[in-house]
Structure 1
Amino acid sequence: MENQLNSSDFKQKALHWANQFDVCCFLDSNNYKDNYSEYDFVLAFGRKAELKSSKGNAFDELKAFYEANKQWLFGFFSYDLKNETENLKSDNPDELNFPELYFFVPEYLIVSKNNEVEVLLGEKSILENINSFHVTDEKTSYGFTIQSRFSKTDYIQKVNRLKEHIIRGDIYEVNFCQEFFAENAIINPVQTFELLNQVSPTPFAGYFKVKGHYILSATPERFLCKRGAKLISQPIKGTARRSEYLIEDEQIKQQLKNNSKEQAENVMVVDLVRHDLTKSAVKGSVKVDELFGIYSFPQVHQMISTISCELNPAIHFIDAIKNAFPMGSMTGAPKVKAMELIEQYEKTKRGIYSGSFGCISPAGDFDFNVVIRSILYNEEKSYLSFQVGGAITFQSDAKAEFDECLLKASAILKVLVG
């Protein structure tokens, strides 16, 4: 391993260097301690091979792509791959036009652990190029207007309609989201990501560029991870604001921990994830490692649970991803009916939002996040979008749900509006 004296400076230079390529992926733990992350940050760029699919058999194509390459793969799954796993459709408008699935084999792969940097793929001399690279400090100005697909009144009406479905017994819980967007939006994607990552550093943050499509993510949530024969999922359900006053902040944290509504939401998702993992698990191996864990991030406290299992050796790991996708925290229970109602009541196709991006190792280990708290950008159309949502249950108060959406959007709004 090659030591870097100033890893944050190197990290910035490396991302700017990688952004010169038409495909790159940066995954950053922001130094959060995590039992399952192999590296502190990972940067992949350039492409030796790629898979782009919107054909209706994307998971099978990915399996074939992995088997053909047996190499590091970086990529993303769009939420709308649900239409492959269930008899569902996505007819809402889509202004972003991301592929439904995209993976690439990188030319270069740089990893860092404990402030030490290593080149896993590509010429080692790339480090000298990066270290001597000069990052220009342009001031980014955002001269566009952010609009919402929902008025507050409209949003509240939709939440109350969804609660009627709950009262009727159609569903127990549904994750309902709304889009904020800007047209004629000109941004510098790398600098915008860096700003978001400063304002809201999270353990599964990342930057993904595929030509003119960008994901700028400050997500705190892991979808699914594989380490050896073990699968781990860490759904988030339960959100509370932070306070700058230490005593009040601690009180808010304790209130979240003991909030029966948040616990009910969380346990529903835990049950859903347990059910999804059972499809891929050695019988009897699914267990809840942590229930109602409270974790603090700059904008919010979150309630996070951890569920794990042993992967059945007869099941391909990509089928294990398919069996759990889309993630329970972004759908609802029962899952299929919840996804039908999401399509009916939301106004925008989710696309990569509430999908996932991450990496697969040559040995078949993987780590994928949940695309939330993320800016999505189509450079060619100058269209910028971010979505926020929350779990609607029988106990939900529609106005409080709207306020929670704004809380979740606060870091992004801080970056784009100031």
Structure 2
Amino acid sequence: MENQNNIPDFKQKALRWANQFEVCCLLYSNQYKDQYSSYDFLIAADVQEELACKSGTAFDQLKDFQKSHKTWLFGLFNYELKNEIEDLDSNHPDYLNFPELYFFVPKYLIGIKNGLIDVLIGNDSIINEINQFIVSNDQKQAALKIQKRLSKDQYLGKIEALKNHILRGDIYEINFCQEFFAENAIIDPVQTFEALNRLSPTPFAGYFKIKSQYILSATPERFLCKRNNKLISQPIKGTAKRSNVLQEDENIKNQLKNDLKEQSENVMIVDLVRHDLTKSAVKGSVKVDELFGVYTFPQVHQMISTISCELNPDVHFIDAIRNAFPMGSMTGAPKLKAMELIEAYEETKRGMYSGSFGCISPDGDFDFNVVIRSILYNSANKYLSFQVGGAITYQCNAEKEYDECLLKASAILKVLG
């Protein structure tokens, strides 16, 4: 453990230093208080061992990989792993081509908690190396031409069609998403992430680089974490915009807390998560720790619920992840039918969007986020993408859902100029 005088400066240098390697991952809580986080800031760099695989036997391969590497693992789960879990497929185009599952054992790992720096893997000398790293902000970003995959009219038409599925009883709720993208995009991923994180600091933010592929994430949502024998999931359903006027902002927050439509959306997903956790739980241990908690972020207020259970000792913790994936907040209910309709009505593969990244600790604890409010970038083919979506129920207003999508996209649009 080492005390550092200027922690923000060290964190900035640490990311720049890590980014010089082909693979690195940052997990950053932005000083949000969270009883389940073991570190405020974790940065993993360079590769000792790695696993990259497609859906089919990906979760089993991860089990074997973890069994032979009982150390820190950092990695991601792509939304397309749904095809391994259920009898589904995806025929939409994918311009980003992230691996479907990727994990690595880092050569270097640094954690920061309460202002103390801890070298978890590697030599203490890397602290000096990072402190001496020269940070340059000289790359000017060319203006990006952001395009929408759907016109507003197309979006509204699809929402009406999905409401007909709800009316027919196919589903109760679906998370429908649309893509914004830029071709021939040249960005500095680190500078872009820093700008996004300044504008929209969130508790599960992160940066993941795998060679030419980048996730720049300002996600506020936890998918699933394990602490000892306890599993915790914190789905978000319910969004309201912020106001600069203090009293008005407080009123908006109270309206969200008491909004019956938002509560009904939230409770459907809470039920779905309870169902997913039941597959991995000690019988009778699934409980809702908090229902309809309202939390404030720079752009939005969000309604977040917390569901937990005791992990059944007969269930491998990686099977517990599989049993809950993809997260209910990004699919809908019932989950399988919602995923079939997502495939039918969306225009591109989700890929890493609404997937997850995070880490597994040496003792088998883990923490994984939900990849939303995130820029996905492939520097090899210069394709940049981000998606936004919302929960569609029969009561929803398609115009308002469209406006909510733009609200969720606002921080990223601002950062990309």
The answer to whether the 8 A contact 1:47-1:104 is kept is: yes
The answer to whether the 8 A contact 1:142-1:416 is kept is: no
CA distance in 2, matches of 1:2, 1:140: 35
The answer to whether the 8 A contact 1:78-1:351 is kept is: yes
TM (normalized to structure 1)?
0.99
Q: What is the root-mean-square deviation in Å for CA atoms of aligned residues?
A: 0.6
Q: Which residue of 2 aligns with 1:108?
A: 108
1:404 matched to 2:410? The reply is: no
Alignment of 1:6-405 (within 5 A): 6-405=6-405
**3-state secondary structure, aligned to 2:219:** coil
Deviation per CA, 1:219-245: give whole Å up to 9, x if none: 000000000000000000000000000
CA distance in 2, matches of 1:192, 1:309: 38
**3-state secondary structure, aligned to 2:178:** strand
Deviation per CA, 1:141-178: give whole Å up to 9, x if none: 24220000000000000000000000000000000000
1:14 Cα offset (Å): 0.3
Deviation per CA, 1:49-75: give whole Å up to 9, x if none: 000001511000000000011111000
Deviation per CA, 1:188-246: give whole Å up to 9, x if none: 00010000000000000000000000000000000000000000000000000000000
CA distance in 2, matches of 1:140, 1:300: 29
Letter matched to residue 5 of structure 2:
L
Letter matched to residue 205 of structure 1:
A
CA distance in 2, matches of 1:65, 1:188: 32
1:140 Cα offset (Å): 3.3
Letter matched to residue 281 of structure 2:
A
CA distance in 1, matches of 2:38, 2:21: 25
CA distance in 2, matches of 1:252, 1:241: 8
The answer to whether the 8 A contact 2:22-2:211 is kept is: yes
Deviation per CA, 1:338-361: give whole Å up to 9, x if none: 000000000010000000000000
The answer to whether the 8 A contact 2:13-2:134 is kept is: yes
The answer to whether the 8 A contact 2:174-2:391 is kept is: yes
**3-state secondary structure, aligned to 1:134:** coil
CA distance in 1, matches of 2:185, 2:139: 16
CA distance in 2, matches of 1:334, 1:144: 38
CA distance in 1, matches of 2:55, 2:277: 26
**3-state secondary structure, aligned to 2:67:** helix
Letter matched to residue 258 of structure 2:
N
The answer to whether the 8 A contact 2:139-2:188 is kept is: no
Q: Gaps (5+ residues) in structure 1?
A: none
Identity %: 72
Letter matched to residue 172 of structure 1:
Y
1:139 Cα offset (Å): 5.0
**3-state secondary structure, aligned to 1:154:** helix
Letter matched to residue 258 of structure 1:
N
1:123 Cα offset (Å): 1.0
CA distance in 2, matches of 1:6, 1:44: 20
The answer to whether the 8 A contact 2:55-2:101 is kept is: no
CA distance in 1, matches of 2:297, 2:6: 24
**3-state secondary structure, aligned to 1:88:** coil
CA distance in 2, matches of 1:288, 1:70: 31
Deviates most, 48-57 or 253-262: 48-57
The answer to whether the 8 A contact 1:140-1:191 is kept is: no
CA distance in 1, matches of 2:300, 2:56: 37
CA distance in 1, matches of 2:97, 2:20: 22
The answer to whether the 8 A contact 2:55-2:80 is kept is: no
Q: Which residue of 2 aligns with 1:4?
A: 4
Deviation per CA, 1:1-35: give whole Å up to 9, x if none: 10011111000000000000000000000000001
Letter matched to residue 325 of structure 1:
F
The answer to whether the 8 A contact 1:236-1:304 is kept is: yes
Letter matched to residue 360 of structure 1:
I
CA distance in 1, matches of 2:225, 2:303: 19
